[in-house]
Chain A
């Protein structure tokens, strides 16, 4: 055979191979696809050992394994949705992720969605599991305001209507209100915070938690300089707690502002609160341990002492 003949034979052989392969694929693929489509998952198995053992199995790569498991959870969640099945073990996976990487905020933030927004109707235990994970998150990330907000919104508003026992509903609303109150204290650029503060106050007021309501509003007022928050919180304080308490708070806030302007007007309120009240070191030298705090005492070095002194001074 000539070179050209060999070349043509090789080309034709290649073409025939490709055509044969295409024919085989066309013949086999529909059957395979049919078999594949017939197979349906009906149950889930949880593929990981306990959270403690998984921590050991990570061989120290805790964050990497947490990322991997969380990515698996997101894909599985979508697949279960597509198959209209309940994702039974999502809570177990998320608890394992939390054990591996407690500072990983995203799984906590998504926990309520992943547990309670499923293709199959969610059950009360899903709300319990979501609450448990959100509370775990607030413990692990005590200054993550977004997490506190999500936890408060879920526990106070979304979950209670799904709970069977009225007492449990009320307990969750109250717990959620306190969490929202805490979120109010963690000032951020979130412009919705005033509404969360008022909502938390609403819930506390409905639950008859007067002391908690006063504490939440006054702490919110103390840490937020935002005018809108101040206005809303003062109005709420006046409406639900009383004009007298509101006026007392305003007078105390004015006294603090006055002290701030006298002492260190060029620093921020946060810095002032961190430094403490100004004391005359020469005049106040020596121990005053155990001494009773007197009204207007010039030697106070902490704001809690200043607060006590102020209360003693204005006591009727």
Chain B
């Protein structure tokens, strides 16, 4: 086979390099995009289960107690499989929430139950590109005395990494 001339090599490398320069970021973007369903579905489930719990209990104990980020460290640019017991906190158990598979986001649940109104905030934090800056998703809900519990629209910060 005839070897490529220097000019042909330059042309080939340029084209291939340009294609890669477009394709690789696109692939990474799509890869990150495909992982967005994890925090969104996680928060949707947390919200739904919190509402059911609230409707089954008195308002003073409507939502389960707060629990910090789980796992405590937000996975940085890679997925993590949690050791046994990571999701054993009574709040996660009450919310029937756990990550059984490798995942990219850490979750937290905060509640504030008062006599007339109970409020919760569920968060998902992720760092898909491992740069130390987190993308944050937040879902809030509340229950007022004599009313059905509700969830509010989702809030996001730096959802694009």
> Is the C-beta of B30 less than 8 angstroms from some C-beta in chain A?
yes
Chain B, interface size category, equals 35 or more
Distance in angstroms between the alpha carbons of A117 and B36 in the assembled complex: 11
> Is the C-beta of A292 less than 8 angstroms from some C-beta in chain B?
no
Q: Are A36 and B53 within 8 A (Cβ)?
A: no
Q: Are A192 and B36 within 8 A (Cβ)?
A: no
Which residues of chain A in 27-50 are interfacial with respect to chain B, using CB atoms and an 8 Å cutoff? 28-29, 32-33, 36
> Is the C-beta of B34 less than 8 angstroms from some C-beta in chain A?
yes
Q: Are A110 and B37 within 8 A (Cβ)?
A: yes
Q: Encode B83-99 as 1/0 by CB contact (under 8 A) with A.
A: 00000000001111000
Given A28-B14, A33-B21, A75-B34, does the pair A192, B96 have CB atoms closer than 8 Å?
A: yes
Please, which residues of chain B bring their CB within 8 A of the CB of A20? 6, 10, 13
Q: Which among A29, A82, A110 is the interface contact of B29 at CB below 8 angstroms?
A: A82
* Nearest-CB residue, chain B, relative to A30: B21
Which residues of chain A in 1-56 are interfacial with respect to chain B, using CB atoms and an 8 Å cutoff? 13, 16-18, 20-22, 24-25, 28-29, 32-33, 36
Please, which residues of chain A bring their CB within 8 A of the CB of B55? 157, 198-199, 202-203
> Is the C-beta of B73 less than 8 angstroms from some C-beta in chain A?
no
Distance in Å: Cβ of B95 to nearest Cβ of chain A: 8
Please, which residues of chain B bring their CB within 8 A of the CB of A108? none
Q: Which among B10, B47, B94, B159 is the interface contact of A82 at CB below 8 angstroms?
A: B159
Q: Encode A104-144 as 1/0 by CB contact (under 8 A) with B.
A: 00000010111001010100000000000000000000000
Q: Which among A71, A112, A191, A199 is the interface contact of B44 at CB below 8 angstroms?
A: A112
Given A36-B22, A153-B48, A157-B48, does the pair A81, B36 have CB atoms closer than 8 Å?
A: yes
> Is the C-beta of B117 less than 8 angstroms from some C-beta in chain A?
no
Distance in angstroms between the alpha carbons of A191 and B52 in the assembled complex: 13
Q: Which among B14, B148, B156 is the interface contact of A157 at CB below 8 angstroms?
A: B148
> Is the C-beta of B145 less than 8 angstroms from some C-beta in chain A?
no
Q: Are A21 and B13 within 8 A (Cβ)?
A: yes
> Is the C-beta of A254 less than 8 angstroms from some C-beta in chain B?
no
Q: Are B21 and A29 within 8 A (Cβ)?
A: yes
Q: Encode A189-214 as 1/0 by CB contact (under 8 A) with B.
A: 01110011011001100000000000
Distance in angstroms between the alpha carbons of A191 and B98 in the assembled complex: 13
Please, which residues of chain B bring their CB within 8 A of the CB of A202? 55-56
Distance in Å: Cβ of A186 to nearest Cβ of chain B: 15
> Is the C-beta of A78 less than 8 angstroms from some C-beta in chain B?
yes
> Is the C-beta of A306 less than 8 angstroms from some C-beta in chain B?
no
> Is the C-beta of A77 less than 8 angstroms from some C-beta in chain B?
yes
Q: Are B17 and A78 within 8 A (Cβ)?
A: no
Q: Are A77 and B36 within 8 A (Cβ)?
A: yes
> Is the C-beta of A161 less than 8 angstroms from some C-beta in chain B?
yes
Please, which residues of chain A bring their CB within 8 A of the CB of B47? 158
* Nearest-CB residue, chain B, relative to A192: B96
* Nearest-CB residue, chain B, relative to A79: B33
15 A-B residue pairs with Cβ-Cβ distance under 8 Å, sorted by A, are A17-B9, A20-B6, A21-B13, A24-B10, A25-B18, A28-B18, A36-B22, A76-B33, A78-B35, A82-B32, A113-B37, A114-B37, A161-B148, A192-B96, A196-B56
